[in-house]
C-alpha cells in the first residue's frame, strides 16, 4: 500500500464515520512505520478538514459532523498513548470559548466549538451562563491564543465588553485575541468594545480564528 | 373591535376543527411524561425551587440540583391550575380571558431584536430595534383587530447600554395599547419595578394593581429538562403575586429534544409541567398557561426552524395536551416563518403554521409580525398577518348546516336565473364574509390602475396610515409623565 493511499483511507474513514476502517487503517499505518503524529497530521486532520468543508457546503449534516468529531477524538486519544515521550503533534492554537454570564443559549456556541476543533484548534469550553472570570482563569490555565464569547441576548452581550476589561485587568489582554459572536453581536459591536474579531456563523468563525492566529 | 375566543370546531361546538391526537394518544403522552419526571427529573440550581419541590414530596438531590417529581404532585398541580386565566387590560373591556377549551385568540410575536425597515419602493434593510420602533409596533398591534393582545414585539436596544431597557419596554407597552400584553423578557429582580409601574397606571391604587396585574410575564425552561435560575424565580414571583405566567418550552427536536416529534412532545411536556408544578407549589391557584415554541432543529445548520411544518404539528399537539390537562394553551407558536422578508416563503409558512394550531383550538397563537424565526420584526408583516388571522378566523366558523342558514325562502323567491345581491338576507350577512385589508381581490385591470402593488407595499401604506391616524394611548397625560419619570430615575440608578 502506498503512503498516500493509507492516509487517504484514514481520511475517508473519518468523513464516512467508519469506526472499524479507521481503527484498522491506523493499525496498518503504525505497522508500516508511520508515527502517531504523522497519522494525525496527514490522515485524521485532513479528514476532519474535509468534514468541515462538506458541512459548510450543506452536504453533511450536524449529527454527521459531531460523530466524525467524536471518532477523531477517540482515535487521537489512543494514538497519544503511543506517542514517544516529548513528541506531540504540532502545537495547535488554543481557544477558550463559552456563553457569557446570565445567558443559557449555547447551541450556536457548541456549533462554533465543534467546527473549531474539527479545523485543528484545541478548544476549551467554559460552558454556558459562565462567570466572566472563568473565561479569564481558563485562558491563563491553558495559555489561550483566543478567547471567544457568545451572547444571544441584548441584555447579556454587555458581558462581552466586561470580558475585555477583565482580560486587561488580569494583564493577559495583549497575549490573547478576542472574538465575539451570537445573534445580537455585529462587526460594529466588536469594534466598539475592542474585540479583535466578530463572526456571523461557525464557518466564518473558523476563518476569522485562522486569521487571528496567523497574525500572532 | 377585537374578536376574542373564536371557537374551532370541536366536540359540540360548531365550526371547523382538527383533532390530531385521540384519547389513547394523550394517555400515552401523559404516562411517558410521568416516567420522565419521576425517573429522570428536572434540573435547577435554584435552592428555593428545589426546597419547594422537596417540601411537596419530590425526591430532591440538592447537590446535583435534580428534582424527581412523582405523578401525584403533578396531578395536584394540574388540579390547582385555573382553567381560565384573565389577562387584564388598561381598558377593562379588552380583558382577554384565556379558557381551556377550543377557543382561538391571536398575539403578535415577542421579543425580536432586529427591525425591518421598509421604504415606499419596496426596498428593505434590517437594523437593531429601538424604543421608537417598539412604540410603532405597539400602535399597529393596538389597531389591528386580529390581535387580542399587544405583546411588545421588539427589544429597546438603544437602551441596553444606557439604562433599564426592560423598563423602557414595559413603559412603552403600557402607554401604547389598551389591550393586555405579556412581557417576553422579564428580569426576575425587575418585578418590584413592574409592579410600581402598574400602580402608577392605576393612580397609586395598590389593591387594583394586585387584582388586575398589567405586566404579565413569560418564561422558558431550558431543554432538555432544565429550568434556569431566572426562570424559576420568574415563576415563583409571578405565582406569589398572582401574575399570569406564560410557560413556553422551546425544545428543538433533534437538538434539545429527541429527533422524533413524538419524543420531543414528551420532553417538552415534562419541562412545562415541571414549571407549572413549581408555580402551584409557590402559590396554589396561580394563573399559568401552557405554551410552546417547540420545533425542529434543522440538522443542516443547527437553527430552530420557525417555518417548519413540524412546528405546526407541535403547536396543534400542545393545544390538545393542555386541554387534556384543563390548562389554557398560550402562547403557542403559529404564523411563523424562517423568511427574512415578507415574501412568498413568509406567506406560505405563516399560513401553514397559523392554520394548523388554530384548527386544533390553541387558545393564544403568537407569531404576528415575526420574520427570521423571531429575530426580526416587520410592521408591514404585522398588518399582513392581521389579514392571515382574519381569514383563518373566517375558516374556523366552518359551515353551520341548519334550516335557517339554508335560506330556502330566498332560494324559492329568486328561483331560476336572477341574483341574490339585493336580498335583505345578503345585506344582513354581508359582514360575515371574509374581507382582507391588504390582500388584493381585484382583477388585473383595477389592480394595474392602483399601481400594481404587492401585499407588502399595500401593507406599508397601511402602516403609515395607522401611525398617522391611530392614537393607542389609554392613559392620562399625567400618568404617562409619571411613568417616564419613574423610568428615568431607574436609568440614572442603572448608570451609577
Ligand atoms: C433556542 C432558544 C432558546 C433556548 C436555548 C436552548 C439552548 N440550550 O441554547 C431556551 C428555551 C432555553 C431559551 C431561553 C430564553 N430565551 Co431564547 N431563544 C432561542 C432561539 C429560538 C434560538 C437560538 C439558537 O439556538 N439559534 C441557533 C444557533 C445555531 O444560532 P446562534 O446561536 O445565533 O449561533 C450562530 C451564530 O450566532 C454564531 N455564533 C454564536 N456564538 C458565537 C460565538 C463566537 C465567538 C462566534 C465567533 C460566533 C458565534 O455561530 C453560530 C452558528 O452559526 C432564539 C431565537 C432565534 N431564532 O434565534 C431565542 C432568543 C435568543 N431567546 C430569547 C429570550 C428572550 C429568551 C428568554 C429570556 C425567554 C424567557 N422569558 O425565559 C430565555 C433566556 C434564558 C437565559 N437566561 O438565557 C430572545 C432574546 C431577545 C433579546 N432581547 O435578546 C430570542 C431572540 C427569541 C425571541 N425573539 O424572543 N431560548
pLDDT tens, position by position, B325-347 = 999 999 999 999 999 999 999 99
Are residues A15 and A120 located together in one domain of the fold? no
What value does the mean pLDDT take over residues A70-86?
80
Are residues A44 and A107 located together in one domain of the fold? no
Tell me the residues of A at the B interface, defined by beta carbons under 8 Å apart: 58, 61-63, 102, 104, 107-108, 111, 129, 153-155, 157-158, 183-184, 186
Are residues A75 and A12 located together in one domain of the fold? yes
- Residue B214 is predicted with a pLDDT of 97
Into how many domains does chain A fold?
Answer: 2
The CA-based dihedral angle spanning residues A106, A109, A111, A115, taken in that order and rounded to the nearest 10 degrees: -160
pLDDT tens, position by position, A3-47 = 668 999 999 999 999 999 999 999 999 999 888 888 988 898 889
- Residue B12 is predicted with a pLDDT of 57
Are residues A100 and A206 located together in one domain of the fold? yes
Are residues A105 and A177 located together in one domain of the fold? yes
Q: Which domains does chain B have, with CATH numbers?
A: 6-396 (3.20.20.480)
pLDDT at B218 over 90: yes
CB-based contacts of A15-18 (< 8 A; 24+ apart in sequence): A15/A47, A15/A50, A15/A51, A15/A54, A15/A68, A17/A64, A17/A67, A17/A68, A17/A71
Are residues A116 and A173 located together in one domain of the fold? yes
Q: Is residue A87 part of a domain?
A: no
* Residues of chain B above pLDDT 90, percent: 92
Q: Is residue A190 part of a domain?
A: yes
- Residue B168 is predicted with a pLDDT of 97
- Residue A195 is predicted with a pLDDT of 96
Are residues A189 and A98 located together in one domain of the fold? yes
pLDDT tens, position by position, B77-134 = 999 999 999 999 999 999 999 999 999 999 999 999 999 999 877 789 999 999 999 9
Are residues A68 and A98 located together in one domain of the fold? no
- Residue A89 is predicted with a pLDDT of 59
Are residues A98 and A13 located together in one domain of the fold? no
pLDDT tens, position by position, A93-141 = 999 999 999 898 988 898 899 888 878 889 999 999 999 999 999 999 9
> What CATH code is carried by the domain that includes residue A103?
3.40.50.280
CB A142 less than 6 A from any atom of ligand 1: no
Q: Is residue A89 part of a domain?
A: no
- Residue A40 is predicted with a pLDDT of 85
Closest ligand 1 atom to the C-alpha of A148? 45
pLDDT at A90 over 80: no
- Residue A79 is predicted with a pLDDT of 84
CA-nearest residue, atom 10 of ligand 1 = B222
- Name the domain boundary from A82, A115, A147: A82
Specify whether the CB–CB gap between A55 and A33 falls below 8 A. Answer: no
- Cell matching residue A159: 458581558
Kindly give, in sequence order, each residue whose CB lies less than 8 Å from that of residue A54, ignoring residues fewer than 6 positions away.
A15, A60
> What CATH code is carried by the domain that includes residue A60?
1.10.1240.10
B370 pairs with which residues across the strands?
B377
Are residues A100 and A196 located together in one domain of the fold? yes
What value does the mean pLDDT take over residues B356-360?
98
Expressed in angstroms and rounded, the spacing between residue A201 Cα and the centre of ligand 1 is: 13
- Residue A73 is predicted with a pLDDT of 83
Q: Please, what is the average pLDDT of chain B?
A: 95
Domain that holds residue A133: 94-215
Q: Is residue A185 part of a domain?
A: yes
- Residue B496 is predicted with a pLDDT of 86
pTM of the predicted model as reported, rounded to 2 decimal places: 0.90
Q: Chain A: residue nearest B302 by CA? A: A62
Cα B400–B406–B407 angle (5° rounding)?
Answer: 135
- pLDDT band of residue B465 (cuts 50, 70, 90) is very high
ipTM for the whole complex: 0.78
- Residue A125 is predicted with a pLDDT of 95
Expressed in angstroms and rounded, the spacing between residue B224 Cα and the centre of ligand 1 is: 15
Question: Shortest Cα distance from A65 to chain B (angstroms)?
Answer: 10
- pLDDT band of residue B140 (cuts 50, 70, 90) is very high
Are residues A200 and A119 located together in one domain of the fold? yes
- Name the domain boundary from A51, A82, A113: A82
Are residues A50 and A153 located together in one domain of the fold? no
pLDDT at B276 over 90: yes
- Residue B6 is predicted with a pLDDT of 78
What value does the mean pLDDT take over residues A53-57?
87
What value does the mean pLDDT take over residues B241-245?
97
pLDDT tens, position by position, A148-170 = 999 999 889 999 999 999 999 99
Specify whether the CB–CB gap between B377 and B114 falls below 8 A. Answer: yes
- Residue A88 is predicted with a pLDDT of 59
- Residue B470 is predicted with a pLDDT of 98
According to DSSP H, which parts of B147-296 are helical? 165-175, 191-201, 206-211, 229-240, 261-282
Q: Is residue A141 part of a domain?
A: yes
Mean pLDDT comparison of B14-23, B50-59, B419-428, highest-scoring range:
B50-59
pLDDT at B1 over 90: no
A183/B375 Cβ within 8 A: yes
CB B302 less than 6 A from any atom of ligand 1: yes
- Name the domain boundary from A42, A62, A82: A82
Q: Is residue A163 part of a domain?
A: yes
Q: Is residue A193 part of a domain?
A: yes
- Residue B299 is predicted with a pLDDT of 92
Kindly give, in sequence order, each residue whose CB lies less than 8 Å from that of residue A97, ignoring residues fewer than 6 positions away.
A109, A112, A113, A116, A123, A124, A125, A126, A147, A148, A149, A150
Amino acid at each position: 500500500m502506498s503512503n498516500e493511499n493509507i492516509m487517504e483511507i484514514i481520511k475517508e474513514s473519518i468523513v464516512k464515520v467508519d469506526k472499524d476502517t479507521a481503527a484498522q487503517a491506523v493499525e496498518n499505518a503504525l505497522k508500516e512505520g508511520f508515527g502517531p503524529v504523522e497519522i494525525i497530521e496527514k490522515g485524521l486532520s485532513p479528514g476532519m478538514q474535509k468534514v468541515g468543508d462538506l458541512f459548510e457546503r450543506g452536504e453533511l449534516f450536524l449529527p454527521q459532523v459531531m460523530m466524525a468529531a467524536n471518532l477523531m477524538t477517540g482515535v487521537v486519544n489512543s494514538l497519544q498513548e503511543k506517542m514517544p515521550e516529548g513528541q506531540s503533534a504540532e502545537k495547535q492554537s488554543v481557544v477558550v470559548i463559552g456563553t457569557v454570564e446570565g445567558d443559557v443559549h449555547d447551541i450556536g456556541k457548541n456549533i462554533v466549538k465543534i467546527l473549531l476543533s474539527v479545523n485543528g484548534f484545541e478548544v476549551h469550553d467554559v460552558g454556558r451562563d459562565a462567570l466572566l472570570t472563568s473565561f479569564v482563569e481558563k485562558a491563563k490555565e491553558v495559555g489561550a491564543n483566543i478567547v471567544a464569547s457568545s451572547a444571544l441576548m441584548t441584555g447579556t452581550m454587555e458581558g462581552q465588553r466586561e470580558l475585555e476589561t477583565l482580560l486587561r485587568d488580569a494583564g493577559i489582554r495583549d497575549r490573547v485575541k478576542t472574538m465575539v459572536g451570537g445573534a445580537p453581536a455585529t462587526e460594529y459591536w466588536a469594534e466598539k468594545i475592542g474585540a479583535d474579531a466578530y463572526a456571523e456563523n461557525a464557518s466564518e468563525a473558523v476563518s476569522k480564528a485562522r486569521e487571528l492566529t496567523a497574525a500572532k | 373591535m377585537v374578536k376574542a375566543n373564536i371557537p374551532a370546531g370541536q366536540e359540540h361546538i360548531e365550526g371547523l376543527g382538527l383533532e390530531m391526537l385521540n384519547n389513547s394518544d394523550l394517555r400515552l403522552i401523559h404516562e411517558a411524561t410521568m416516567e420522565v419526571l419521576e425517573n429522570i427529573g428536572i434540573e435547577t440550581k435554584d435552592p428555593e425551587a428545589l426546597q419547594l419541590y422537596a417540601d411537596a414530596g419530590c425526591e430532591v438531590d440538592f447537590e446535583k440540583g435534580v428534582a424527581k417529581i412523582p405523578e401525584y404532585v403533578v396531578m395536584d398541580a394540574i388540579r390547582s391550575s385555573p382553567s381560565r386565566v384573565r389577562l387584564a387590560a388598561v381598558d377593562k373591556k379588552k380583558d382577554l380571558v384565556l379558557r381551556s377549551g377550543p377557543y382561538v385568540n391571536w398575539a403578535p410575536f415577542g421579543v425580536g431584536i432586529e427591525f425591518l425597515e421598509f421604504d415606499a419602493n419596496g426596498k428593505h434593510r434590517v437594523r437593531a430595534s429601538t424604543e421608537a420602533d417598539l412604540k410603532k409596533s405597539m400602535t399597529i398591534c393596538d389597531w389591528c383587530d386580529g390581535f387580542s393582545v399587544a405583546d411588545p414585539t421588539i427589544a429597546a436596544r438603544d437602551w441596553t447600554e444606557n439604562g433599564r431597557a426592560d423598563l423602557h419596554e414595559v413603559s412603552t407597552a403600557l402607554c401604547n395599547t389598551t389591550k393586555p400584553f405579556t412581557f417576553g423578557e422579564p428580569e426576575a429582580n425587575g418585578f418590584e419595578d413592574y409592579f410600581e409601574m402598574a400602580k402608577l397606571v392605576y393612580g397609586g391604587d395598590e389593591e387594583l394593581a394586585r387584582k388586575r396585574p398589567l405586566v404579565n410575564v413569560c418564561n422558558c425552561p431550558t431543554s432538555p429538562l432544565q429550568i434556569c435560575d431566572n426562570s424559576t424565580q420568574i415563576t415563583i414571583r409571578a405565582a406569589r403575586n398572582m401574575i399570569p405566567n406564560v410557560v413556553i418550552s422551546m425544545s428543538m427536536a433533534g437538538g434539545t429534544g429527541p429527533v422524533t416529534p413524538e419524543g420531543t412532545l414528551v420532553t417538552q411536556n415534562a419541562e412545562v409541567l415541571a414549571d407549572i408544578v413549581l408555580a402551584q407549589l409557590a402559590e396554589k391557584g396561580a394563573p399559568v398557561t401552557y405554551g410552546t415554541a417547540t420545533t425542529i432543529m434543522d440538522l443542516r445548520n443547527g437553527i430552530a426552524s420557525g417555518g417548519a411544518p413540524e412546528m405546526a404539528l407541535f403547536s396543534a399537539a400542545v393545544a390538545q395536551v393542555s386541554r387534556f390537562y384543563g390548562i389554557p394553551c398560550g402562547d403557542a407558536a403559529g404564523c411563523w416563518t424562517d423568511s427574512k422578508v415578507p415574501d412568498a416563503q413568509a406567506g406560505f409558512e405563516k399560513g401553514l403554521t397559523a392554520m394548523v394550531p388554530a384548527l386544533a383550538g390553541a387558545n393564544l397563537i403568537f407569531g404576528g409580525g415575526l420574520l427570521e424565526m423571531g429575530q426580526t420584526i416587520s410592521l408591514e408583516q404585522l398588518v399582513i398577518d392581521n389579514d392571515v388571522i382574519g381569514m383563518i378566523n373566517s375558516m374556523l366558523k366552518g359551515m353551520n348546516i341548519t334550516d335557517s342558514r339554508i335560506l330556502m325562502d330566498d332560494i324559492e323567491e329568486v328561483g331560476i336565473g336572477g341574483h341574490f345581491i339585493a336580498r335583505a338576507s345578503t345585506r344582513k350577512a354581508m359582514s360575515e364574509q371574509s374581507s382582507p385589508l391588504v390582500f388584493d381581490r381585484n382583477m388585473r385591470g383595477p389592480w394595474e390602475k392602483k399601481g400594481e402593488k404587492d401585499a407588502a407595499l399595500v401593507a406599508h401604506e397601511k402602516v403609515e396610515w395607522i401611525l398617522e391616524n391611530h392614537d393607542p394611548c389609554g392613559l392620562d397625560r399625567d400618568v404617562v409623565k409619571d411613568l417616564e419619570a419613574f423610568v428615568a430615575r431607574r436609568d440614572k440608578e442603572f448608570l451609577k
